[in-house]
Every structure is written in structure tokens, then in C-alpha cells.
């Protein structure tokens, strides 16, 4: 069990490693996305660690790679002893791969080379009262899954070999992470930092089934960073969902809160399969596309302050979506 000091350190540093004393039923992974300026290269690389049930042989470190242009995915495992990470900052190593706030050194699947971060990271602000993207829920130890947003947007340069072919490009990056026992039993997740009307804008949004005591509720988070400011709509800041519809072709979503009204119409596309945690192993499969597109509109007091089309968008629609829609945000 973590000491109070280490627990507070973890709360205030969602980007850091939280599993120092975890020996079973635990996962932690960092989502490291980078997209070239011309959108021809779209990649997500996910380093992480998994610990299964006590006495099992399913403990492992891993690096996942998703080629967003083709949908190909790769899951490379390593002995758990080849995983290391810092408990007070973003610094992770898995086998020959290394990730930090400076970039990444890669030798996994089709990727070999370096990603260099060229501008400061833009995290979701962290205070003790609202420790990052989860708000006060981030202070609750019993949560099934925790989430951190390490950087909405930063510029990168890549010097890679992709399937043995040298490729160099400049582009944009995004970093987030998850840790805990399991992924939610049903959720949606969207991200893009390629808005046609504002090259510095970035959006992340998610809704999930959240277990709570003997029941559950639909929790949601939206963060739209533009014009030098984070605009947020969340379960914990008195925002409300006006509607959420999900079908085979689209997600349509509108929320209203202290930062106005945000409307999203997202086109669904097929993607590649990633591994996600179960209690016994990293065998759950989640489909992610990095080629979705959506229209977005932000209004304050009836005035449109930002709108446009977002491209190279990552999207996941997973699990019991019927139940996710049915519980309608109610505890």
C-alpha cells in the first residue's frame, strides 16, 4: 500500500508511474501519438506493464504499435523485469524503448528510431482540488480506472526506419495514460489536434460506465484547448449532456456547461485492434481508428467562438454501448 506521501505525489503527477507497490491485478500504459504535418504518417505507440492474478504467469511489460494509416497493429511483450518508470515524472523504459517529455527512442514492431518533442507539453492542469482530467474523482482510491492527460498538443520531429525504410517528418503529438484494474465495460473516446480553422487547437472527449459503490453511472469528460485556454465540460464541473447518440456510422454529442456549449458530429471509421486489460491477461481487444473526422462547434452565450473540421482523429467505441447510453449519466 502506498504511503500518504507517495499517494499525494501520484495524484499530483498523473504522467508518472503509479504501480510501484502493485503485485497483481494492475495495468498501466502511456498513449504516445504522433502524426505528420501532411497526415500521411499516423502512429500510436503504447508502452506499459500488466500484472495478472496472484500466482499467474501473465505478468508482462509491453509496447503496442498502431499504424493509423493502414490499421496494422503490433503487440510486443517483454519480461516484466525489462520495465522501469519514474514515480514523479514521465520517464518510461520497456526493453530498448524509452519515453519521456523529451520524446521517444523506438525499436518495436515496424518502428526504429527517434521522436523528438520540440515544444513544451500542454497537460490538463493539475491542482490538489482538481488533480487533472478526472477532477476530484482522481482522489478516490477505489476507482476502477484512472486517466491522465500528459499533453494536449506539442510539435515533434521524427527520424525513423519504418519496415526498414528511412522516413523523416515533422508533425504534432499527443500523450495520455491509463492505470488501474480494468478498462471500463463500455466507453467512447475521441481525440484530434488537427482542426482546419486553428492549428493549435486540440480536443479530447470520453464517456464511460463508471462503477460506483453498488451501482454505476455515465461519466464524461471533454476538453477543448484553443485560443490559449482549456475549455472543459465534465461530470464534476456541473456540465450536462444535452444528447449523445451512437450508431454504426456516427457519434453525435452535445454538452453544455460553464464554458458554453460544445457540439460534435463524428464519422466512424474502421481501425486496428489494440490489446486492453482483463483481470487475467492483456487479451481484451479494442478497435481504434486514427482516421476519423468530425465537425465541432463551440458556442458561448449563443455566439460561435470556434468551429471547423477535425481530421486524423483517433476514436474508440468499446464494450456495452447500449448500457452506456441507457444509464444516461445518472448514478
Domain of 277, CATH number, reads: 2.40.370.10
Ordered DSSP codes for 196-243:
TTBTT-EEEEEEEEEEETTEEEEEEEEEEEETTEEEEEEGGGT-EEEE
Phi-psi region of 41 (alpha: psi -120 to 50; beta: other; left: phi over 0): beta
Q: CA-to-CA distance for 13 and 129, rounded, in angstroms?
A: 13
Res 102: pLDDT:
98
The sign of the dihedral angle between the CA atoms of 72, 293, 179, 282 is negative
* Contact (Cβ atoms closer than 8 angstroms) between residue 91 and residue 100: yes
Q: CA-to-CA distance for 176 and 24, rounded, in angstroms?
A: 23
**Following CA atoms 100, 46, 112, 124 in sequence, which dihedral angle do they give, to the nearest 10 degrees?**
-40
Which residue spans within 52-144 are E strands per DSSP? 60-67, 73-78, 83-85, 91-94, 97-100, 103-108, 111-117
Strands 73-78 and 229-234: unpaired
The residues near 141 (Cβ < 8 Å, ≥ 6 apart) are 7
Across the chain, which distance is largest between two alpha carbons, in Å? 59
- Count of beta carbons in the 10 Å neighbourhood of residue 20: 12
Res 227: pLDDT:
94
pTM value is 0.95
Sheet holding 42-51, edge to edge: 73-78, 60-67, 42-51, 26-36, 165-180, 145-162, 111-117, 103-108, 97-100, 91-94, 83-85
Q: Counting Cβ atoms within 10 Å, is residue 90 exposed (0-12), middle (13-18) or buried (19+)?
A: buried
Count the residues in the chain: 331
Res 1: pLDDT:
53
Res 331: pLDDT:
44
Res 141: pLDDT:
86
Bridge partners of residue 104, in order along the sequence: 99, 115
Domain count, the chain: 1
Q: How many helices (H) and strands (E) does the chain have?
A: 2, 21
Bridge partners of residue 65, in order along the sequence: 45, 74
Rg value, the chain, Cα: 19
Ordered DSSP codes for 32-61:
EEEEETTSS-EEEEEEEEEE-STT-S--EE
Res 7: pLDDT:
65
Q: CA-to-CA distance for 65 and 72, rounded, in angstroms?
A: 8
Per the listing, cell 519496415 goes with 163
Res 330: pLDDT:
47
4: part of which helix (H) or strand (E)?
helix 4-12
Please give the average pLDDT of every successive group of 10 residues along the chain, which has 331 residues.
64 90 94 98 98 83 97 96 95 98 98 98 89 90 93 98 97 97 95 96 97 93 96 96 96 98 95 88 91 97 98 96 83 44
Per the listing, cell 500484472 goes with 51
Question: Can you give the residue range of the structural domain that contains 74?
Answer: 4-327
Amino acid at each position: 500500500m502506498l504511503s500518504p506521501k507517495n499517494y499525494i505525489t501520484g495524484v499530483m503527477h498523473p504522467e508518472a508511474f503509479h504501480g510501484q507497490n502493485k503485485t497483481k491485478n494492475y495495468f498501466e500504459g502511456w498513449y504516445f501519438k504522433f502524426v505528420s504535418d501532411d497526415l500521411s504518417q499516423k502512429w500510436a505507440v503504447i508502452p506499459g506493464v500488466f500484472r495478472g492474478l496472484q500466482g499467474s504467469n501473465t505478468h508482462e511489460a509491453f509496447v503496442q504499435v498502431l499504424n493509423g494509416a493502414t490499421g496494422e497493429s503490433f503487440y510486443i511483450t517483454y519480461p516484466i523485469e525489462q520495465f522501469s518508470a519514474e514515480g514523479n515524472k514521465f520517464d518510461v523504459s520497456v526493453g530498448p524503448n524509452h519515453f519521456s517529455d523529451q520524446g521517444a527512442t523506438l525499436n518495436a514492431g515496424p518502428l526504429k528510431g527517434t521522436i523528438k518533442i520540440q515544444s513544451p507539453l500542454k497537460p490538463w492542469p493539475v491542482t490538489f482540488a482538481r488533480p487533472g482530467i478526472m477532477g476530484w474523482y482522481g482522489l478516490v482510491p477505489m476507482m476502477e480506472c484512472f486517466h491522465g492527460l500528459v499533453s494536449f498538443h506539442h510539435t515533434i520531429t521524427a527520424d525513423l526506419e519504418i519496415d526498414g525504410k528511412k522516413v523523416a517528418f515533422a508533425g504534432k503529438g499527443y500523450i495520455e495514460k491509463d492505470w488501474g484494474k480494468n478498462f471500463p465495460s463500455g466507453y467512447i473516446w475521441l481525440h484530434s489536434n488537427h482542426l482546419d480553422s486553428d492549428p493549435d487547437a486540440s480536443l479530447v472527449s470520453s464517456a464511460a460506465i463508471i462503477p460506483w459503490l453498488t451501482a454505476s453511472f455515465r461519466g464524461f469528460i471533454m476538453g477543448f484547448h484553443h485560443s490559449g485556454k482549456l475549455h472543459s465540460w465534465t461530470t464534476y464541473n456541473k456540465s450536462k449532456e444535452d444528447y449523445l447518440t451512437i450508431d454504426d456510422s456516427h457519434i453525435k454529442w452535445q454538452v453544455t456547461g460553464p464554458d458554453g456549449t460544445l457540439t460534435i458530429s463524428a464519422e466512424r471509421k474502421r481501425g486496428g485492434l489494440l490489446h486492453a486489460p482483463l483481470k487475467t491477461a492483456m487479451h481484451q481487444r479494442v478497435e481504434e481508428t486514427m482516421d476519423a473526422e468530425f465537425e465541432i462547434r463551440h458556442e458561448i452565450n449563443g455566439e460561435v467562438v470556434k468551429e471547423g473540421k477535425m481530421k486524423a482523429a483517433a476514436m474508440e467505441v468499446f464494450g456495452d454501448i447500449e448500457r452506456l447510453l441507457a444509464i444516461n449519466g445518472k448514478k
